[in-house]
Amino acid sequence: MNFNIAVIKGDGIGDEIVTQAMKALETVGAVYNHSFTFTDVLMGGCAIDATGVPLPQETIDVCLKSDSVLLGAVGGPKWDTLPGHLRPEAGLLGIRSAMGLYANIRPAVLFKPLKKACPLRADIADRGFDMVIIRELTGGIYFGERGRRTTENGVEAFDTERYHETEIRRIAKVAFETAMTRRKKLISIDKANVLESSRLWRETVHKMAVEYPQVEVSDMLVDNAAMQLVKDPSQFDVVVTSNMFGDILSDESAMITGSIGMLASASLGDSKRGLYEPIHGSAPDIAGQDKANPVATILSVAMMLKYSFGLPKECAAIEHAVDAVLQAGARTPDIKDAETTQVVGTRQMGELICREIGK
């Protein structure tokens, strides 16, 4: 089978990590008789430099015609002083909206070889964890009304947290169906003791729970969830939450895996076309130095194979290859643990994983 993939390398380390993910896909193609056609497009700071805007229309058009999109990372201090609508991050929000991607799926797994890299206490890390955070992606405070106004106390800035029932129902449906394929345990995270939007969120999730009687559903306030993630992450299976809460909690879950460079993500809508990216940033401080961890990006294309292309065996091949390389002791510089026997760069980590895929 042939698949057309739009490639947004972006800024900072984006080029380096995406290149390794593309090589992983090409290796999968050679082993399992698939082919992948890549089309490079601009988004983020590099797009601002080339076109004056963070998300050119050409990029949107190519992405909408592709089978899926692979993204590296966008942003950097060079563009931090630009107004909000012209910053690189505006391109990210824009492409999610243009593609109708309302569900962000972020697995957080502690690979056994990385237990000693986990910053949690040894007895907690020994229990391990395997969770999926389902984050609503196109609503909430990131997309609500915002602005500034002059008051008697000076300039006031505001951002509005808002959700309507349809948005909550569709993300909850993704979460319930994900839970049905796993341990059938779903925790909905909100701030219903304070926020009206969270009260609607909780009411809507509870109404939907009737449609999934096999799933054990519980609620958790977001501040408690932040504590529970470091106290006992093994208690979590599937989590569903709002845009901002999901952004924060998924980064926390990333750190306890041993490195933020280990976590992949998929952003999906109603079609099979998705946007796949690592959850970390562009890390301009190490760009071009062959130090970046490509594993999250490589695991992101594994998710692409599973969710967009319906190739679970090929997805598993990449995941097993990553595990085998970690078991052998190879680590990029961001992973600090006692099991490290070989510190490798971006390119070498990609090469080692590709070799395992081919075995």
Residues 254 and 135: their CA atoms lie apart, in Å, by: 14
- Report the SS3 class of residue 148: strand
Residues 88 and 77: their CA atoms lie apart, in Å, by: 10
Measuring CA to CA, which residue among 261, 266, 342 is closest to residue 295? 261
Residues 6 or more apart from 310 whose CB is under 8 A from it?
A: 272
Structure tokens at 62: 């190519």
Q: Return the DSSP state at 272.
A: S
Phi-psi label, residue 287: left if phi above 0, alpha if psi -120 to 50, beta otherwise: beta
Question: Can you spell out the DSSP letters for 172-222?
Answer: HHHHHHHHHTTTSEEEEEE-TTT-HHHHHHHHHHHHHHTT-TTSEEEEEEH
Residues 132, 237 contacting (CB under 8 angstroms): yes
Instruction: Work out the end-to-end distance of the chain between its first and last CA atoms, rounded to an integer number of angstroms.
Output: 21
Catalytic residues: 142, 191, 223, 247, 251
- Phi first, then psi, for residue 279 (nearest 5°) are -85, -10
Residues 6 or more apart from 305 whose CB is under 8 A from it?
A: 25, 28, 311, 312, 314, 315, 318
